[in-house]
Chain A
Amino acid sequence: MRSPMNTPTPRFDAREASKWFFRHGHTGWLGLRFTDQGDNWVELELPWREDLIGDSSQHVLASGPIISLMDMASGMAIWQTRGTFQPVATLDLRVDYQRPARERASVKGRVECYRITRSAAFVRGIAYDDDLADPVAHVAGCFMTIGADPREANPALGGGGDA
């Protein structure tokens, strides 16, 4: 993951990354959009769509796409916090549904990475439709970095004491 000294890797930027992240794959199919970011958080939006409803009697987004939204916002919050794009694997993700999303409403997911070590990252966030103080769901998750095994890290190259 080290780049030559004369070509420093630009800091990960969720807004820029969204331009190519959401062009294909599962998140592209869902139509996720970037909405906002901070130093350690990212907010994405899942637009309302007829074929994503969970129950034919209600015009309300299913809970499944909301998990996808929060999973993606979690990963991006981790890269935003770390400052680099290093693939992560979700270990677990818990979603507590507070209430259904409003009819025909898109849902935003704001996730913050509140703790990060060399190999693990912890996130928490909320999904909401129009009021951050009246969430649709709360989430909590734990992720692990993949591709770089900390046991193989050379302590002489700046290995810290964390996990």
Chain B
Amino acid sequence: MPEGLELPAYARSLGLSLTGGEEGGMPILTVDFGPMVEGRPQHFHGGATAGLLENAGYAALRTALLAAGRDPLLKPINITVQYLAAGKSQASFAVGRITRLGRRNANVTVEAWQSDRTRPIATAVMNILMV
């Protein structure tokens, strides 16, 4: 886990945390199921899943930037979330992958899953501006 990687206030209050594990050098985030993330009974709210994906995307980008000795301000340009399966009442995980790291912008893809890493419940593509 890279030194200096911190989750923002929103991520922490939503109950997200770093598992300490990684995939492709990028940190894995997790959130337990509970009232704060519940939409329809016993399922994740789509917004909570998006919050997990988005934060995993930022964590991946921060990790890549730290490795490159860069510390820019990150501004979201857009995010597209695809929901693939209902998020059930159990822990969810997510990890980001940098598709392209440019000078001014980055393209990041993120996957979220639950008990089976090979069956994602949601994916996201994010474009992030770095200033």
Contact = CB atoms under 8 A, between A and B. Distances in A.
Residue of A57, A65, A90 with highest tally of chain B CB at under 10 A:
A90
A67 B73 CA distance: 21
A59 to B, nearest CB: 10
Contacts, number: 112
Contacts of A52: 9-10, 13
Contacts of B100: none
Contact of A64 (B35, B40, B55, B86): B55
Contacts of B37: 26
Given A52-B9, A52-B10, A68-B45, A94 B50 contact: no
A96 B50 CA distance: 14
Interface in B59-85: 73-83
B77 A25 contact: no
A63 B54 contact: yes
A93 B54 CA distance: 13
A89 interface: yes
Interface residues of A, number: 36
Residue of B12, B45, B47 with highest tally of chain A CB at under 10 A:
B47
B39 interface: yes
A55 B37 CA distance: 21
Interface in A18-72: 24-30, 50-57, 62-65, 67-72
B76 A94 contact: no
Contacts of A63: 54, 76, 79
Given A62-B11, A87-B40, A94-B81, 7 more contacts: A30-B47, A53-B10, A62-B9, A63-B79, A67-B51, A68-B47, A72-B47
